[in-house]
Amino acid sequence: MKLPKYLLVLTILLSFSQRTHAQEEKITVEDALKQEKIEGQFDMVIKKSGRYQEYKVIKQVWINKLKSNVTDTLKTLEAKLNTSNQQIAEQKNTITGLQESLAKTNGDLSTVTNEKDSMSLLGASVTKASYNTIMWLIIGALLAILGFFIFKFKNSNAITVQAKKALAETEEEFEDHRRRSLEREQKVMRKLQDEINKQRKTGAK
């Protein structure tokens, strides 16, 4: 009695597997070149390319589209890199300004420490303790702002390093693929030329 149930479950699983496989087969190279990441596009083009003996023959339209996609990706990474560099430059200027302001405040604090207990702050007379408290509060605020911009600077620098790494990897991947494609194309052309020469020699006999 249990055997038909097992057969039913097995039939359902096989049907689901075949449907999933059929859906995967429906994905064309053109779709992959529009949707997949660069690595996935390379894999799909290589997978769907024809074969000539031990070589892969890639359609011209596919390799042109792949080249266009890689170029667009490189341009996007370069744009992100330029934006990150601009942000880093702006943050460096801000940090420099904050450091100068902090140094000036510290200098003012040192000068005031050596003066009398009673002093004038913005036209108002305050005690030395009150003045010191206000100045330390200002220094604390400046240090907090400086710390924030240093954090932002380090974060932007990490993004820049990552973008540079991704750009270098993509360029290396594209150059390697272009070189291998050119070598394969040259080998295929030499094979074809050899075959043509053989045919000519055979016809001449």
Other Cβ atoms closer than 10 A to 145: 15
Instruction: Tell me the one-letter amino acid at 27.
Output: I
pTM: 0.39
> Long-range CB contacts (< 8 A, 24+ apart) of 3-11?
none
Helix axes 128-204, 38-48, angle to 10 degrees: 10
Please name which of 26, 48, 70 lies closest in space to residue 171, comparing C-alpha atoms. Answer: 70
- The pLDDT profile of the chain, 205 residues, written as one tens digit per residue, is 444 555 555 556 555 444 444 344 456 777 777 776 887 878 877 888 887 777 778 788 887 887 888 888 888 888 999 988 988 999 999 998 888 888 888 888 777 665 655 566 566 666 777 778 888 899 999 999 999 999 999 888 888 888 888 898 888 888 888 888 888 889 989 888 888 888 887 776 5
> Long-range CB contacts (< 8 A, 24+ apart) of 189-192?
191/52, 191/53, 191/55
Give the N- to C-terminal CA distance of the chain in Å, as an integer: 75
User: Cβ contacts of residue 40 below 8 Å, gap of 6+?
Assistant: 32
Please name which of 156, 147, 145 lies closest in space to residue 90, comparing C-alpha atoms. Answer: 156
